[in-house]
Each structure stands twice: as C-alpha cells, then as structure tokens.
Structure 1
Amino acid sequence: MQGKGVSLGGRFAVLLLVVATCLHAPEVSAAQGEGASALAALTIDAMDNEQHILRGGFPVDAGVVRLELYDGAVLLGEALLEEGRWSIPWEPGEGSEFLEAVASLETGEELRTRLDFQHLRFTSPEGLYAAEALLVLPTAPGTSTHYTLDGTAPGPSSPVYTGPLVLLNRQGQPAPLSLIPTNPPESPEAWRWRAPTAPPVLATVVRLQRFSGATPVGPGAARTYLIGQPAYSLPVLSLVTDAENFFGHDRGIYVPGRIHEEFPEWPDYWGTGNYMQDGKAWERPVHVEWFEAAGTPVLAQNAGVRIHGSGSAALPQKSLRLYAKADYGPEWFQANFFPDHSSRGFKRLLVRTAGQDQLTTKLKDCVLPGLLRQTRLALQACRPTVVFLNGEYWGLHELRELHDEYSLASHYGLIRKNVVILEGHGLLDTGEPEDVVPYAELLAYVREHDLSVLEHYEHVEARIDVGNFIDYHIAQIYFGNADWPDNNVKYWRYRGGGNTAVAGEGDGRWRWLLYDLDSSFAGGAEVNSLGRLLHDGRLGEPFVVLFRGLMKSPWFRARFIARFHWHLDNTFAPERVLAAVDAAAERLAPEMPEHIARWRYPRSEAAWQWELQNLRDIIQRRPAALRRFLQREGLDSP
C-alpha cells in the first residue's frame, strides 16, 4: 500500500477516483475500442454478509443483457439486473480466491471485471491496511459466533457466523455518525458544529462474541480494517463502542442530549450538554486499537472512555480520556505509544483535539511542552494521531500521556498512593483530604513573612522545588498563556518524603505540572504576561501570592533572572522554536485537508496556513518583547 504525498489533493484525489469507479477498473476487451471509457463502470462493490448477497454496478447505457458471476472458474449464476445495479446470492468458501463478473452486451461484446481476495484471520495480528479480503472468524464446539459490522456489541440475536466475511471498500456507504450535531445550534457561530463537506473515509469494524445459547462465552473482541485505502502518514487509533454510548439522548457523552434539553440556558460561554458531565457515571465501554503509521497493530483491548476537558468539551470535536481497568480487560495499556518515552505501561491516556487550538493551528499543545525536555518538568508525551470512531473517520487528535498519580509514580519510581496532586488555589485532585493542609500552610506563611529575609526564604525553599517553579513560570510567561494562572494549574508532591531539600522528586517538595497550552500566544508577541503575573489585581490572590512573594527574595530573584535569560537565549531561541513548529506542521500537512473536510475547523487549509504564519511571526518577535518587559521590571541583569 502506498503512502500519501504532502500535496493537498492526495487523499481527495483517491476518494474521487473511488467514487467514480467504485474501486475496480474492468478488464476491457480490445473489441471495445474507443467506447471503453464510457463502459468503465462495471463493478463488484458491496456485500451483504448477513443475507449473503453480492452486489455491483454496470453502465445503464451499455446495453447489458446478461451478467454472470464466477467464483474462480466456477459459475455462480446469472445476476439480477436493475437500474444500473446487479445482485446475486453468494456464500464464499475459505478457498475462494477471486470473483469475476462478465457482462454480455447487445452488440455481442463483453465487459469484465475481476476482484482478487486477500485472506485474513480475525485471530491473527493483521495490519490495518488490506486489499479486499475474506475474513475468517474464530469458532469453537458448543458455541455460536455472532458478529456485527456497525460497532454495536454483538448479542444473541446478532448475525451468526457461518463462513468467511467479505470485506470490501466502504466508500459511498452511509456515515451516519458524522451527521450528528455535537453541540447545540445556538452555539456561537465561531465554533458551531458544521456538517462535513465530503463523505468521510470508512473503515470496516468487525465485532464478535461467542455464545452458548444466550449466554456470552469469554470476552468480546473487535478488529478494524481499512480496505482499499492509501495509508495515513500518522498512527491510527480506532475506537469502537455502541453508538448510544456517544450519541444517545440520555447517555451519549458526545452530544448536548438530555442535559442540554433539561437546562437549555447558557450559564456561561460554553453552555450545557451531556459532554460537560464527568465522573464514573459518564464513563462508557470502548474497544481500543492502535496502529503505527504503516498499519502495524500495536494494541487491542477493551477500556473505558470519558469526555476530557472543560470548556473545550463544548467544541464540535471533543477530547477523550481512556481508562484501562479490570472491569473491561487489561488493567494497563501496555504498548510503545511514545518511542522516546521511558514508560511502556499507562493506566490512562488522553485522546486530545488540541483544545481551543483545534480552531487555529492544532499543534501548539503538542509541540510547545517538548521545548522544555531539557528541564526536570514533568511533561506529557504526545503523538499526533488519526482517529476512527465505529469505522468512521473522526479526524486528527493527539494521543497523550495524562498527568496523574500513575504517570508520576511511573516516571520517578514512587509509590502511587503517596502521590498528592492539587489544582487551582489548593483544591484536592488526588490524595486524602488532609493533603491540602501543607500547601495552605505554605501560602499562609508567604502571606505572613517577608521572603527578603533569608530564613524565611529558606523555609519556602525547603517546601517547593525552586528550579521546577522557576522553569514552570518562565515557560508560562514566554507562552503568554491566556488561560493561566487562574486556570489550568496543578502541582504535586510525594507524601512519603520529608520537607528537606534532598535530591529527587520523592523529597516531599511541591512541583508544578505544565499542561493545556492551547491558549499560548493568544495575545500575540507583545502581551505582557510577566507584568500581568506580577501586578494584575484581577488575578486571584492564591494563584499569584507565592510567585509575588518569592520575587521579593534577592536569592530567588537572581536565580529567576539568570534562568529567564538563559531560556530566551537557548530554549526559546526563535530558530529552535520555529524548527519544532515547522516539523509539527509538516507532519500534519498531509492529513489536514481530510480533517478540515470532516470538522470544518480550521475553516480552510488557507486559514490554517495563515494561523501557522501568525504563530511564526509571534515566535520571531517574542524574545525581544520579553527582554523589554524584564528591563521594565528591573530584571534585565542576569
């Protein structure tokens, strides 16, 4: 299977060809001469596996009087002809190699087309990409194997497997999920759901479950195949679940649904909807498959899924959170998702849509944290990914590591139950109720003591990782993060350590977590995020009291100044940041036309390129602006 080029027309050109020819070009006899092009629509293009009916098309103006089908050399019979379509009963055997359709014309000439089959077994670790295929499902004595092809979990009344399933390219078939609005029609026009401009690419999802009578035997399973499609340039994540779990009025997590119907008022900018709900009650079962860019299967397991995010959940395309749990299957996602990452086991994963940046560049939140790899900040691993939902193309996402007690314990070799995470102004995220006390006491101490006194500064230094705190704040200031510091703030400590400044993340000091950078550079190159952090009275006091208190300490201040200038000269040197952005844009470029056609955000490829150029301009000018702000605050001397 050939990969795609970077040109805008790559996959769309293929899609147009698929629609025009239904995948299979006929073998045209020499006697057809110049009329061959007009007769090029004899196809074998659809199979009803439940009813065992094979279908195809023929040119209505070709004068077809009879159409015969052959399974290899064996004549199946004469097909039923009707308005440019033909059909015939057929049950393939495991030994079937190819089909041939032969249409006899009024002129005495013939049209022929042939379809060769790849042979697949459900139990084999087959790749994502395949030619037209016959798929063999597993069976066992005393049980019946039931299957579905629409993402629904098989039940006792689902079709019973009796022989190989015929898998053909699905282009042109309905894609009902893509036509479901995912936010209310009264949503602001700037981020209102819009119908796709082109039919989405469709994969084939096969789910199976064995039964003894009406009793399930063993766990269910699913496999995804992209039949007759060019390979994507990125990894592919296939999610399979009953459509009701995502789109049902009462329990669907991806739609406005019942919650918006009951509370239609807009209490804030983002409104209401099922997708704003959180917690175990809004977790749904899902089957997860992950394929590398070449289509190599890496992982297949059952898991749980919830909507991820707050305001961004109201946007048309939504971020998801995946949970590995014994309730569903394996307790961990064990796979090499991130080649440069030390961990191979993950309890939770994010499938993120770039947050609000899905409307603009769609890359900031995946690229910008990577600039800080040389620091000791805990960063989320991230890979751009193409997602399919129940076989429908669902657009570009980012597979990401989640900042939680599992990832922190794994990174630093800690005991998970001793990891404490707080958020905002000191609210408990992970831990015990009493775990909020040390941070509250720290802020109280800063309020009550002058940190220009060495003893007072050392008291605080023993309780926070000052280097981590400085790198974190410099990064947020450089990024000009408009959704910080009074939002998207998390910090953590290891409860098993003491309050002494011993080396290592297990020393009990507070450290900060960098995440959700989709609002970076929202104010442009000249936004004075440093002055805002130091002086803006509209920011909640608990979010800034620690930084402002520490800036009174000459020891902290000198360290902060030196580190800031070092970052501007190195970490945030324009050529370095531009190289990272350009590399990310190059990775996304082959897939953006298809994504834009599906979600309509960014509004066009031209709009996406404009946003990228605007980001490049900001990156070029940002260090000079920050140096002026540092000088204005008397922080210009390292």
Structure 2
Amino acid sequence: NELVASNGSTLLDEDGDAPDWFELFNPGATSVDLQGWGLSDDRGEPFRWVIEELVLQPGEFRTLFASGKNRQPTETAPVNPALLPGLRVWFRADQVNPNDPTQVRQQGGNLFLRRWNNRIAGGVAATAANPSTEPLWVASGLGGLPALRFDGANDQLLLPRVIATNDFCLIAVFRTSQSHEIDPESTAGTGGTGGQHYLFGAQHGGDANGGSGLSVGSNGVSVYEHGSGYMPALAVGHLAPGTTPAVVAVNYQTRHPGLFLQGVRVSEGLSSPRAEVTAPIEIGAGAYGAFAGDLAEVLLFDRALTEAELLGLQRQLADRYGIPLYEPRHTNFRLDAGGERLILTRPDGTTADEVKFDAQLRDVSYGRQPDATGPFFFFAEPTPGASNTTPASGEALVAPTFSHPTGFHSEAFNLSLTTDTPGAEIRYTLDGSEPIATSRLSTGPLPITDRTGTPNGISMIPTVPGGAPPLGEVFKGWVIRARSFKAGALPSPTITGTFWVHPKGRERYPLPVVSLATAPANFFDPTLGIYVPGLAPNGNYSQRGTGWERPVHVELFETDGTLAFTQDGDVKIHGNTSQGFPIKGLDLDGTGGRGRRPFEYRLFPDRSRTEFEHFLLRPTGHDQMYAFMRDEMMQSLAAETGAESQAARACVVFVNGEYWGLHYLKEKEDAEFVGYYGDHPSDDVDYLEGYAAAKAGDTAHYDAMIAWLATADLRAPENYAHLQTLMEVPNYIDYKACEVFFYRWDIGNHRLWRPRTPEGRWRWLQFDNDVGWGGFWAEQPAWEFNMLAADLTPDGGLHGHASEVTTFLLRRLTESPEFRESFVNRFCDLLNSTFLPGHTRERINQWHDILAPGMAEHIQRWR
C-alpha cells in the first residue's frame, strides 16, 4: 500500500537505523493469515523472504522493514523474576495494601502512596519525603491493574541507598502521554538538563563517578549519566511507545548500558567514561525533570542480565499487563532507490500483489490513494502504519544535469545546468549546502574558472582552540549542487559536482582526490559543527553517537581523472585523542540516512573487496605532525604475516571546494571488515575493541577464556592444547611480535574477533600503530626501549597502559614452555624476513615517495 526506498528519517527501526520500509494493508472484512507468503524484489525468486507468522486483521496496516537484517519475531517464554538470582528490588502497585496507613495516606476519595514495600525479603522500601511528593495510587491504572500516578512536578519516591554499581539491570512498566527531548548518544555533553522526564532520576556522581537515570516519553527512552560537568545520553531508544503501556529495561554491564523497550533492544549504548556508575535511587523525578504518567512495577537486579533473561522478563510483564510487545519484521533484502519491483506471493505461488516503481526520492513515500484500490502517488509526508491521506503528487522531478564532466579541467569553461522537465526551474548553491526553493535561480551558464586569488573561506575557521590559519592561499575548486523545482511536483534529488581549473588539469595532484560537500554548519557551526571546538564540553569533535553524524556528499576521483563514485552518505569524526588535533579523521558511512547503500567500488586495487559500508579518511592520528606514515607503513609490514590489516591509500581531500590536505583513504575495522576477510557473515561474529563491551556479538566467550586462564596451568600440555581451541595462538604471536618490534606502547587499545560458532577462535587485528617506532609519547631513545619487558610488566608503565588486565594474556601464555618456544622462533623468523632493516627501510622509502610531492602544500595548510 505504501513504500519508502530511500529512507532517511521517515521511520526508525528498533536499532535506531532508518532502513527502507513498506506497508501491507488488508482492506477486506476478514482476517488474512500470511504465514508462508513470500516477499521479493525478484520475479525469479518470489519466496526470497517468507513470512513465518503474521495475521492481518480487517482494516489493519502493518509496516515491514526492507533492511537486509532478516529478522522475524521469535516466541519467548515468560520468566518469573523470583527465579532469577540478583533481584534486590521488586515493587508492584498491585501489592500495595490500600487499607494500610503505613503504605498509603487517604485524602478525600484519593489514596497517596507513602511507602512502596519491597517484595524481596529484607529489601529496602521506597518512600516519599513528605506528603507533597506522594504519587497517587489508582486501582485501575495499567492493564486493569493498580498503578502509581506521578504528576510530573513534585511526585517522587526515594530508595535509602544505592543498590548496585557498574553492573545492574532496571526494568519498569509505565505509561506516559508526554514526549521528551531526545538528545544524541554521546559520552559527554549537557543534554539531559532540559526537556527530559525522569522515570528514574540520575544522582550526581561527582568528579569521577556518575549516576544513571532513565528519561521516558511517548517518543522514546534515553539513559543519562550525571556527573561533574556534563549529563550525556549514553543510550537512546528511538522506538516510540506512544501513549500505551510499555515495558522498559536498562541493562548495565561493566558500565555499559544496553536499552530495551517492548521486548527488543533499542540501543547498544556507549561505555561510560566514569570510574563508577550507580543505579538510580529516585523514582518519578530527577534533578532536571519529572515523570508524568503511571508506573505499575519496578525490578532492580544487582547484576547484568543475559539477553534471554531480559526478554523472558519483558514477556512476563507484557503478559501481566496486556502489553503488545514490538514485533519487528525485517526482510533479507533492501529496496533499490533507483527503481525495481516489490512482489507479494501466496503460498501456492500465485501473485497476490506487485508494484513496480521507478527512481525514488529520499524520505518520500510511494503509495496508493485511496488505500488498496487507487493509483500510486508520491507523498512528501509518508504515513507508515496508517492510511495514505496526506497530500499526493503525481510527478517527482528528476535531477538536472551538468554540461561538463566533474573533476579537473585545464581551461576555464561555462557550465550549463539543464532539465528536461517542462516548466521546471533549477536552483543551485556554491557553499556545499543542498538547494532549497529559495536558493539561487539558474538563469544561464556558470563561469567555472581558476580560483587562484580567491580569499580563503572555511579553511580560516580554527578547528582547535588557538588553531593557526593556512600559510597563504589554499587551492580551491567549485562545488555546484543543483536541484529542479516545479509547482505541484516533488523537488528532484540534488546533483553534486566538484570542478577544478588549473593549467596542469588532473596532473595537479598525483594522488586520488576526495571531495566532500556539506552545509558549512555541519562542520563549523558552534552548536552543530562536528569539526570545531564549538559549545560542547571537550569540543564538538569529541562527541559520539548518531546525533553527531552529519550528511555529506562524497566524490572520489582517480589519478587518471576517472570519477570512481559520487554518493550521499553520513560523516562523523573518527579517533579518540587525535580528534583534538587540527586535522581530524573522518568516518564516512554510505549506508547512513543519506546514502542508504554501501560504497560500491574497489577502493584498494591490491585487494578484491568492492563493497564498503564505511571507509575512513585518516590523517595518521598521532603521527600527523611527525612522519605522517607510521600506521600505514607498519600495517603494510604486518600484513606480510597474514594478519588482518587495514588497506590504505594516500589521497588529497577537499571540503566544500577548499584544499583540506593529505589523508589516508583507509578501511575501517569493524564487524563488516572481519566478516569479509574472515569469510564469515558479519552479523554472526564477536568483535571487541579495547577491554569494553563488544561492538558486535558479545564478550561471553572471551570472558570465559580469561576466567579459565586465571587458574589453568599452561605448563600442562592438555591445557595448552585446549587454549588453542579458544584462540589462534600463531595469530596472537604475530600480533604481539609486531607490537613489540614496532614499540606500539598503546597495548590497551586492541581489537579482536571470532566467528560465533562452536569452533570459532579469537584473532587479533593490526591497527593504530601511529604511536610506534619512537613517535608520539615514546620513551627516548626509542630504539633502546625494552618493549617486550614492558608488555609483560603490570606496573602502570607505557603511560598507564601496562596494567594487570592488558598484560594478563601475554604473561599467562609465557608460562607455557611450548608458547615461549613458538614465540621466540617466530620472532626470529620475522627478524630475518619482514623485520630485516633493509626491507623496512625500503618500505619507508616507498611511503615517502608517495607522500613527498604533496607534503609541502599539506604543511602550509596545517602548519
């Protein structure tokens, strides 16, 4: 009945992503059982995705995601909270005795709660500080059962003490009619101080610690942490419970909050930077906002629950209160925004419905009006899960065209913008922003000239406090963004092109060139800009989460002048401490809200990979003021061991037409990366970064391995043999040999992965060697530093990185005679091959020769 094949923000799924979606509608008078029906975008494969269980009631609209995630609801058995260990608080409004004056206070015909007794024997109770903060007890609140009604102003209950720290799980059943302000996920910032409605208030944790709190609204739920200087949202759920009853859960595992709503995980959350995170003690209000609505039940565990336990508990609560849990359905295919067909097939193979659509616009739906029976129109206001009653347009304009190819030109020329649509006009911009109806009107050819002599623009904006401007004029091109408009029609997509004029043409640069186009505010605005200090604590560039991603258009030009690709996407700052340097790493996402598809191009000629959801533009991290090649050169050496390493190409970057310096176009190490090189589905891996929670999968296997190693005697051959079933020891030896030889002192910053199979073993990835070989913060003279000894000594050396945790694995393994022999032999082999002085000098010279032609211009830009 309706579909969106280029979704940017019309509808978010339970992960907070914006995948394609379509809507099924039953216009009949009887229900339709869709079990066994097929959905596909290919007539030759009508059962590409089969509905497992779905009954469409008369007049019902049902939205499905065409995300490629391949998910269907699974039956979850309810779990009784009393059977799970660690339950410390269990409040139920239906267990309040309305005749007990110690529990309730009667005023007129109303009952106000004084004390909420804990169902756990010996457990603490929640009490109101005074009569003005007592919530109303209502006999029929949620699902016909009693609930506490909070007024959104003064009502609040307090626990006498903190119940849990760092690891805990909080679950509640609530209903609210108020929306709350949704802040971006971040580990810093002051977002949680206005517009929030705290079902559980966040206690101030002081300078080092943080208190956790939960704000809820009809439009989503968010976890905040309160400490000195900031109050960020570490987990944000965009799934909207609306004004119906909902069950929410916050699951902290080693200071990392996961967020669940209506039976599904809605946020993986971000690891807290605070030393300790405490569970809330305030119910119904916090320092920066109060909850207005009904609360029926609260459970608090002093440990993190497994996902199975969490889902079972949510099912138990949903059954008790008659709450329909969210049942997202995701097909195993996506819709092509360029146009294709969508087919619904009955179990007997006959076609029930089919729609063929042409190129689609971002955030514009294509649907029938009237529902089910009418022709298809375009809707600027999509209505997922509801009738198509918003204004419809029968025409969607196509993008205008350029008269000349984008890229480098040796002579000036006049650029014409044209459209084949009668009555349409073309609007354009020159600053990187997308055209709107009031942008410049194209009335004739645009002169594209050599911009030498044009004053610097955005390159004069400081990107760090006290940042120096370029030394002289930077080289510039023209970024033209154009769009067609016509009364009564939907505006066209935007066409974007970068044009440079220089006597040398494409030979101006011997490297690939990447051009980024975005509204200047996305990078440089004090509030929105991700590339500047701005107004956020520790700099806008230090913020994290989807709220700090910005739309961008990306063009890649090869050295022969070929336009490799031109595509919309999202961009965010990449890196940790290096983000505070003037030139910053960028993470480009082709599958974000703007692009909706991966970058499909062979970015690295020496590798076979042709599809990238992400790639990086990295100015070498901590090495940007030194050799500008450490990580890339060392990774190219490490690759000779067979370890997974990031491919990299030096390139030149432009932002909105202004020269932005040398970067490395680089693979991003993530689940997609290890899935490709490990020849294993990326959605079925455990992928860990540092010593925090997993970025994909979980840490259960790794935690079990470390726990076993804590007591195992690796001198016993059978134990060492068992270890080799848990991790790939030769890979780990190569990883550590490179780490030692490179003097990569940042040993706490490691990445590892395994397939989520019974025989899946851990492998370590080579990355982030920018501090190696005497670079940033190295002990001098670096060639005399005993890195192996430091890697084995948990004394706080290596600038605090040599801890009990980070050195544990190597220390334990070296207790095995077999490991020691293998390590020494392999290190000697590498010293006589990959690590030979002549070989490494040759590799250094290779990278030097690539960088040298452009280094002077880069230094003038980022002096």
Corresponding letter in the other structure for 2:483: Q
CA 1:229 to 1:196, structure 2 compared with 1: closer, same or farther past 3 Å? farther
Residue 704 of structure 2, aligned match among 438, 441, 460: 441
* 1:408-436 superposed Cα distances (whole Å, 9 cap, x missing partner): 222232112102111222522222xxx21
Residue 727 of structure 2, aligned match among 421, 442, 464: 464
Contact 1:210/1:216, CA 8 A, preserved across alignment: no
* 1:24-68 superposed Cα distances (whole Å, 9 cap, x missing partner): xxxxxxxxxxxxxxxxxxxxxxxxxxxxxxxxxxxxxxxxxxxxx
- How far apart are the structure 2 equivalents of 1:332 and 1:418? 19
Q: 1:395-410 residue pairs with structure 2 within 5 A?
A: 395-410=661-676
User: Does residue 1:534 correspond to 2:792, yes or no?
Assistant: yes
- How far apart are the structure 2 equivalents of 1:299 and 1:327? 18
Alignment partner, residue 303 of structure 1: 569
Corresponding letter in the other structure for 2:651: T
Q: 1:10-21 residue pairs with structure 2 within 5 A?
A: none
CA 1:327 to 1:124, structure 2 compared with 1: closer, same or farther past 3 Å? farther
Contact 1:424/1:543, CA 8 A, preserved across alignment: no
Query: Where is the helix percentage greater, Structure 1 or Structure 2?
Result: 1
Contact 2:794/2:807, CA 8 A, preserved across alignment: no
CA 1:449 to 1:121, structure 2 compared with 1: closer, same or farther past 3 Å? same
* 1:213-237 superposed Cα distances (whole Å, 9 cap, x missing partner): 4965232121011112532011100
Q: 1:203-282 residue pairs with structure 2 within 5 A?
A: 203-213=477-487, 216-230=490-504, 231-259=508-536, 263=537, 272-282=538-548
Corresponding letter in the other structure for 1:565: C
Residue 593 of structure 2, aligned match among 315, 324, 327: 327
- How far apart are the structure 2 equivalents of 1:302 and 1:162? 26
Alignment partner, residue 691 of structure 2: 425
- How far apart are the structure 1 equivalents of 2:680 and 2:688? 17
Residue 551 of structure 2, aligned match among 285, 288, 291: 285
Corresponding letter in the other structure for 1:490: R
Alignment partner, residue 84 of structure 1: none
Residue 629 of structure 2, aligned match among 363, 373, 385: 363
Alignment partner, residue 181 of structure 1: 462
The Cα of 1:332 is off from its aligned counterpart by: 0.8
Alignment partner, residue 188 of structure 1: none
User: Does residue 1:196 correspond to 2:448, yes or no?
Assistant: no
Structure 2, unpaired ranges of 5+? 1-399, 797-801
Residue 336 of structure 1, aligned match among 602, 613, 634: 602
Alignment partner, residue 45 of structure 1: none
Corresponding letter in the other structure for 1:485: I
Residue 352 of structure 1, aligned match among 604, 618, 632: 618
Corresponding letter in the other structure for 2:418: P
TM value normalised by structure 2: 0.51
Alignment partner, residue 584 of structure 1: 847
Contact 1:245/1:251, CA 8 A, preserved across alignment: yes
User: Does residue 1:597 correspond to 2:860, yes or no?
Assistant: yes
The Cα of 1:124 is off from its aligned counterpart by: 6.1
Q: Please state whether the residue corresponding to 1:257 is helix, strand or coil.
A: coil
Query: Where is the strand percentage greater, Structure 1 or Structure 2?
Result: 2
Contact 2:482/2:495, CA 8 A, preserved across alignment: yes
Contact 2:406/2:498, CA 8 A, preserved across alignment: no
* 1:316-375 superposed Cα distances (whole Å, 9 cap, x missing partner): 000000001263135110112110011011110000010010011101111110112232
- How far apart are the structure 1 equivalents of 2:653 and 2:766? 25
- How far apart are the structure 2 equivalents of 1:344 and 1:131? 34
Residue 441 of structure 2, aligned match among 160, 183, 193: 160
* 1:230-257 superposed Cα distances (whole Å, 9 cap, x missing partner): 3201110000000000000101000010
Contact 1:128/1:297, CA 8 A, preserved across alignment: no
Q: 1:116-195 residue pairs with structure 2 within 5 A?
A: 122=402, 125-139=405-419, 140-185=421-466, 193-195=467-469
- How far apart are the structure 2 equivalents of 1:138 and 1:463? 62
Contact 2:472/2:860, CA 8 A, preserved across alignment: yes
Corresponding letter in the other structure for 1:533: D
Q: 1:380-391 residue pairs with structure 2 within 5 A?
A: 380-391=646-657
Contact 2:638/2:766, CA 8 A, preserved across alignment: no
* 1:295-324 superposed Cα distances (whole Å, 9 cap, x missing partner): 221110000000000100000000000001
- How far apart are the structure 2 equivalents of 1:498 and 1:397? 41
Q: Please state whether the residue corresponding to 1:384 is helix, strand or coil.
A: strand
- How far apart are the structure 2 equivalents of 1:321 and 1:338? 17
- How far apart are the structure 2 equivalents of 1:204 and 1:170? 8
The Cα of 1:125 is off from its aligned counterpart by: 4.7
- How far apart are the structure 1 equivalents of 2:455 and 2:489? 32
Corresponding letter in the other structure for 1:386: V
Contact 1:468/1:512, CA 8 A, preserved across alignment: yes
- How far apart are the structure 2 equivalents of 1:228 and 1:587? 22
- How far apart are the structure 1 equivalents of 2:703 and 2:486? 59
- How far apart are the structure 2 equivalents of 1:427 and 1:540? 18
CA 1:123 to 1:549, structure 2 compared with 1: closer, same or farther past 3 Å? farther
Identity over the aligned pairs, expressed in percent? 37
Corresponding letter in the other structure for 2:482: L
Q: Please state whether the residue corresponding to 1:157 is helix, strand or coil.
A: coil
Contact 1:128/1:296, CA 8 A, preserved across alignment: no
Contact 1:443/1:542, CA 8 A, preserved across alignment: no
Q: Which range moved further: 141-150 or 239-248?
A: 141-150
Contact 1:121/1:135, CA 8 A, preserved across alignment: no
- How far apart are the structure 2 equivalents of 1:123 and 1:546? 61
Corresponding letter in the other structure for 1:527: F
- How many residues are treated as equivalent by the alignment? 449
User: Does residue 1:489 correspond to 2:766, yes or no?
Assistant: no
Contact 1:152/1:207, CA 8 A, preserved across alignment: yes
- How far apart are the structure 1 equivalents of 2:455 and 2:614? 33
- How far apart are the structure 2 equivalents of 1:516 and 1:219? 38
CA 1:123 to 1:366, structure 2 compared with 1: closer, same or farther past 3 Å? farther
Corresponding letter in the other structure for 1:493: R
Corresponding letter in the other structure for 1:498: P
Contact 1:209/1:221, CA 8 A, preserved across alignment: yes
* 1:188-216 superposed Cα distances (whole Å, 9 cap, x missing partner): xxxxx211111100111111111224965
The Cα of 1:454 is off from its aligned counterpart by: 1.1
CA 1:214 to 1:248, structure 2 compared with 1: closer, same or farther past 3 Å? farther
Structure 1, unpaired ranges of 5+? 1-119, 186-192, 264-271, 500-507, 601-638
- How far apart are the structure 2 equivalents of 1:135 and 1:534? 64
Corresponding letter in the other structure for 2:844: V
Residue 567 of structure 1, aligned match among 818, 827, 830: 830
- How far apart are the structure 2 equivalents of 1:179 and 1:126? 26
Corresponding letter in the other structure for 2:502: G
The Cα of 1:149 is off from its aligned counterpart by: 1.5
Q: Please state whether the residue corresponding to 1:251 is helix, strand or coil.
A: coil
TM value normalised by structure 1: 0.68
The Cα of 1:184 is off from its aligned counterpart by: 1.4
- How far apart are the structure 2 equivalents of 1:281 and 1:535? 40
- How far apart are the structure 2 equivalents of 1:406 and 1:286? 22
- How far apart are the structure 2 equivalents of 1:215 and 1:411? 46
Alignment partner, residue 509 of structure 1: 761
